[in-house]
Each structure stands twice: as C-alpha cells, then as structure tokens.
C-alpha cells in the first residue's frame, strides 16, 4: 500500500509538484489571531430540551402537537450544576430546533408552550 510520505518523511502533496504555487499557498495557511483566541474561550454546553424530550424520540416525526409537550416542571438548577461540574462556564439552551416547537408562548404559532 502506498503512503503519502517519501523516504525523508516529507509529504508528496497528493502528487502535486512540491514547487507548485497552489501547494505553497495551502501549506502556508495559518490561523488568524481571532481563530487562535477561540482556543481560549470558555467551555459552553448546549442543552437540547424540547418536544423530543416529552415524546422520548430522538427525532420528531412531524405529527406532534403542542399538547404532546406534557412536561410541567424541570430542575434547571440541576442542569446547571451538572454542566458546571463538567467544567462548563456557560449554558446555551436550544429554545427552538428544527421541529419548530417554541419553548415560549408565541403569537405566531400554536406549536409552543
């Protein structure tokens, strides 16, 4: 089986000539200061809580009704404590996902709490 390295452990660049300007451009790409700063950002956790939580399905089938959302109480403090114990410094709650169910009362749709 062929590999992508020659005897000197330098890349063969997928058969592009090593002096090709396009290859030089690709291998000269370096992250910007803003991209590098992302590495130092705090650890946030996403929490997906919505219709699928109530129906115990991974994906909605498009047949759910707002009345299927029967969850009456939650323990948000426990959620945050769990995230914090995992090292998270923030939480992002998904309030509306692809199924369209809104975790807030809305005048624009009846598919909401």
Domain ranges in the chain are 13-94
> 51: which residues sit within 8 A by CB, 6+ positions away?
60, 64, 68, 69, 99, 101
Q: pLDDT by residue (tens digit) across 40-85?
A: 778 889 999 999 999 988 888 889 999 999 998 999 999 999 999 9
Q: Where do we find the tokens 């290859």? A: 23
Radius of gyration of the chain, Cα coordinates, nearest whole angstrom = 24
Residue 38 predicted with pLDDT over 70:
yes
User: Tokens for 37?
Assistant: 């700063």
pTM: 0.58
């Amino acid at each position: 089986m062929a590999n992508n390295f020659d005897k000197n452990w330098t890349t063969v660049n997928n058969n592009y000539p090593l002096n090709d300007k396009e290859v030089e451009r690709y291998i000269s790409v370096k992250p910007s200061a803003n991209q590098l700063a992302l590495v130092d950002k705090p650890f946030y956790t996403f929490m997906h809580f919505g219709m699928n939580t109530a129906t115990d399905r991974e994906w909605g089938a498009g047949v759910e009704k707002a009345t299927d959302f029967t969850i009456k109480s939650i323990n948000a403090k426990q959620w945050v404590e769990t995230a914090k114990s995992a090292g998270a410094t923030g939480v992002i709650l998904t309030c509306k996902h692809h199924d369209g169910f809104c975790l807030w009362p809305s005048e624009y749709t009846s598919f909401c709490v």
